[in-house]
Structure 1
Amino acid sequence: MDELATLRALQSVKEHGTVTAAAAVLRLSPSAVSQQLKRLEKATGRSLLTPTGRRVALTPEAHALLDEAGPVLSRLEAILGVSSGRESQVVGHVRVAAFTTAIRHGALTAIAEVQDQHPQLTCSLAEMDPGEAYRALSAGMVDIAVTHHWQGQQAPVYPAITVSPLADNTADNTADDLVDDVADVICHRDHSLPESPGLEDLATYSWVSTGAGTICHSWLIHMFALHGHRPRITAEISDFALHVPFVAAGLGLALVPRLGRPELPGEVRVLELEDPPARKIGIALRTHQVNDNAISVVGAALRSRLRD
Structure 2
Amino acid sequence: MEIDPRRLRVLHEVARRGGVMRAAEALYLTPSAVSQQLAQLEREVGLALIDRSQRRVSLTPAGRVLAGYAERVEDELAEARRELTRFTERLAGPVRIAAFPTVIKHMLVPAMRDLAARHPQIVPIIHEVYGPPALQELRLGAVDVLITEQDMSLPVLAQPSLATHAFYVDEYRIVMPPDWPDPPRSVADLAEVPWVAGEPGQASGQALDRLAGLHGFEPRKVHVITDFGPTLALVAAGHGVAIVPALALLDVPEGEVRVSDLRDVGSRRLDAVTRISRTRSGQPDPVQAVVISAIEDATAALDATLVGHLQPL
TM-score (norm 1): 0.66
**2:97 partner SS:** strand
Aligned pairs, number:
254
What amino acid maps onto 1:302 in structure 2? Answer: I
Cα distance, 1:306 vs structure 2: 2.5
Distance in structure 1 (CA, Å) of the matches to 2:67 and 2:149: 26
The CA RMSD over aligned residues, in Å, is 4.1
Hey, what does 2:30 align to over in structure 1?
Answer: none
**1:294 partner SS:** helix
Hey, what does 1:223 align to over in structure 2?
Answer: 211
Task: Assess if the C-alpha contact under 8 Å between 1:197 and 1:271 holds in 2.
Answer: no
Which piece of structure 1 moves more, 115-124 or 270-279?
115-124
Hey, what does 1:84 align to over in structure 2?
Answer: 83
Distance in structure 1 (CA, Å) of the matches to 2:236 and 2:171: 21
Q: What whole-Å deviation, never above 9, does each CA across 1:226-253 have from its counterpart, x for those lacking one?
A: 4332222223333324433222211110
Alpha carbons of structure 1 residues 191 and 160: separation in structure 2 relative to 1, 3 Å? same
Which piece of structure 1 moves more, 295-304 or 276-285?
295-304
Task: Assess if the C-alpha contact under 8 Å between 1:102 and 1:306 holds in 2.
Answer: no
Cα distance, 1:307 vs structure 2: 2.7
Distance in structure 1 (CA, Å) of the matches to 2:164 and 2:91: 22
Hey, what does 2:96 align to over in structure 1?
Answer: 95
Give percent identity, aligned residues only. Answer: 25
Distance in structure 1 (CA, Å) of the matches to 2:263 and 2:92: 49
Hey, what does 1:305 align to over in structure 2?
Answer: 298
**2:284 partner SS:** coil
Hey, what does 2:107 align to over in structure 1?
Answer: 106
Q: 2:237 aligned with 1:249, yes or no?
A: yes
Distance in structure 1 (CA, Å) of the matches to 2:101 and 2:201: 15
Task: Assess if the C-alpha contact under 8 Å between 2:147 and 2:272 holds in 1.
Answer: yes
Alpha carbons of structure 1 residues 165 and 83: separation in structure 2 relative to 1, 3 Å? closer
**1:86 partner SS:** helix
Cα distance, 1:97 vs structure 2: 0.5
Q: 2:146 aligned with 1:152, yes or no?
A: no
Cα distance, 1:64 vs structure 2: 4.6
Q: What whole-Å deviation, never above 9, does each CA across 1:166-222 have from its counterpart, x for those lacking one?
A: 2xxxxxxxxxxxx32110101123324435422x21121112233454343243234
Distance in structure 2 (CA, Å) of the matches to 1:84 and 1:46: 36
Hey, what does 2:35 align to over in structure 1?
Answer: none
Q: 2:180 aligned with 1:187, yes or no?
A: no
Hey, what does 1:134 align to over in structure 2?
Answer: 135
Distance in structure 2 (CA, Å) of the matches to 1:246 and 1:150: 23
Q: 2:286 aligned with 1:293, yes or no?
A: yes
**1:84 partner SS:** helix
Cα distance, 1:116 vs structure 2: 5.3
Query: Please, which runs of 5 or more residues in structure 1 have no aligned partner?
Result: 1-5, 19-37, 48-59, 167-178
Cα distance, 1:103 vs structure 2: 1.0
Q: 2:267 aligned with 1:278, yes or no?
A: yes
Distance in structure 2 (CA, Å) of the matches to 1:66 and 1:230: 52
Query: Please, which runs of 5 or more residues in structure 2 have no aligned partner?
Result: 14-25, 28-39, 50-62, 302-313
What amino acid maps onto 1:273 in structure 2? Answer: L
Cα distance, 1:300 vs structure 2: 1.7
Cα distance, 1:261 vs structure 2: 1.2
Superposed, 1:116-135 pairs within 5 Å as 117-135=118-136
**1:122 partner SS:** strand
What amino acid maps onto 2:97 in structure 1? Answer: V
Superposed, 1:34-49 pairs within 5 Å as none
Cα distance, 1:140 vs structure 2: 1.6
Hey, what does 2:162 align to over in structure 1?
Answer: 161
